[in-house]
Structure 1
Amino acid sequence: MTHVVTEACINCKHTDCVEVCPADAFREGRNFLVIDADTCVDCMACVPACPTNAIYADSDVPADQRKFIALNAELARDWPSIVKRRDPLPDAARWAGVAAKFDQLQHP
């Protein structure tokens, strides 16, 4: 089992989860984080640390968010590691309550 970052992270990118990850499993894009399944040790420390409830065990990802399992795996291959907490994106508070924001995901 691994953990997956889902849609709630888009345009928020809080990094509280990064700070508690003992395996340095997070990868950073412009407006989203992902978890590298090959690095994740399934400790679950990131789940309660996420202020937007964007992180799930892969077996618990809601049906409408299942596409994020493959997306995390794909993007983790190319995105750089992030190991230190940073400020969330400037409009994080505004985006935190937005449910459908997949079209806002920025990735090359």
Structure 2
Amino acid sequence: LTTLKYGFVKVRQQGSEQVFTVAGGVAEIQPDIVTVLADAAENIEEIDEARAEQARQRAQEILAKGVPADTDAYLAIEAALRRSNLRLEAVRRYRKPSRPNFSGEN
């Protein structure tokens, strides 16, 4: 049993691979199976890059004004910044670029 921090998990199954962001949790590793219980997980194909960038900018702007006196507010802003940075890194590192559709089909 091991703890998970903010990072990435690659799931390989029957020749295919998916990448997820994880934000904390635990993993149990056995010889033939790995079980992950994440506090939060997100498939990188579902990440909205523009929205993640906006969230990152909002969190940075709030922190640039000074550390909030309320500890809970500070921790929430810090967590939002970490999640948005994780999402952006995941998209830039692992998402395959989409190919343009020239066939006229949707």
TM-score bracket for the superposition, by shorter chain length: under 0.3
In terms of fraction of residues, the more strand-rich structure is 2
Provide the TM-score with structure 2 as the length reference.
Answer: 0.25
When Rg is computed on C-alpha atoms for both structures, the one with the higher figure is 2
Q: Name the structure with the higher helix share.
A: 2
Relative contact order, higher structure (CA 8 A, sep 6+): 1
Q: TM-score, normalised by structure 1?
A: 0.25
